Amino acid sequence: MVDYTWYGMQARSVERLTFTMGKSLRARSIITSCEGRSEYEVTLDDQWVFCKLTLHGHDSRRLEVQRGNDGTWGVNGERRPDLEGAIDIDLGFSPFTNTLPIRRLNLAIGSRAEITTAYIEAPSLRVLPDPQAYTRTAVNLYLYESLDSDFTCNITVDPDGFIIDYPGLYSRRLPRR
């Protein structure tokens, strides 16, 4: 079991995540912001492939997202064929989910991969297909690109692929006031 804490820079927040490895991988997180407290749990298989998300929002909303072994997706019990090309999720309010494709893809330095994620938009909690790319530019540095907007960012990770610095958005270092 390993604990991580991220500080939100743009939308002030603190995320405390506990990650457990075993037959499956599990992340449990609490995010505290000026809007309140949210909690989520993500389950992955041992290859870092997304299986299930349960989210309890600060406003009492609940979201459940599942991906079956056959690649089918469900959101709150409804089948979502538009997500079937996705393997990973991307929580718009947490840097943790960038670790999923980083670990799963295990890119060599200089390699690039285009993927589609099931993006959970904040604060609406809408789940949308989202094309992205990751390029490993150094041992602990990745270029993240949104393929349906002009957003790009160089993110720094630790040796386990967990975000250390997502410039302007999240950091594991306490922000200066």
Position 10 scores a pLDDT of 86
Per-residue confidence in pLDDT tens, the chain, 177 aa = 999 999 999 889 999 999 999 888 999 999 999 888 999 999 999 999 999 999 998 888 999 999 999 999 999 999 999 999 999 999 999 999 999 999 999 999 999 999 999 999 988 999 999 999 999 999 999 999 999 999 999 999 999 999 999 999 999 986 665
Q: What is the pLDDT of residues 120-159, one digit of tens each?
A: 998 899 999 999 999 999 999 999 999 999 999 999 999 9
Position 174 scores a pLDDT of 67
Position 34 scores a pLDDT of 87
Long-range contacts (CB closer than 8 Å, 24 or more residues apart) made by 43-49: 44/100, 47/104, 48/100, 48/103, 48/104, 49/87, 49/88, 49/104
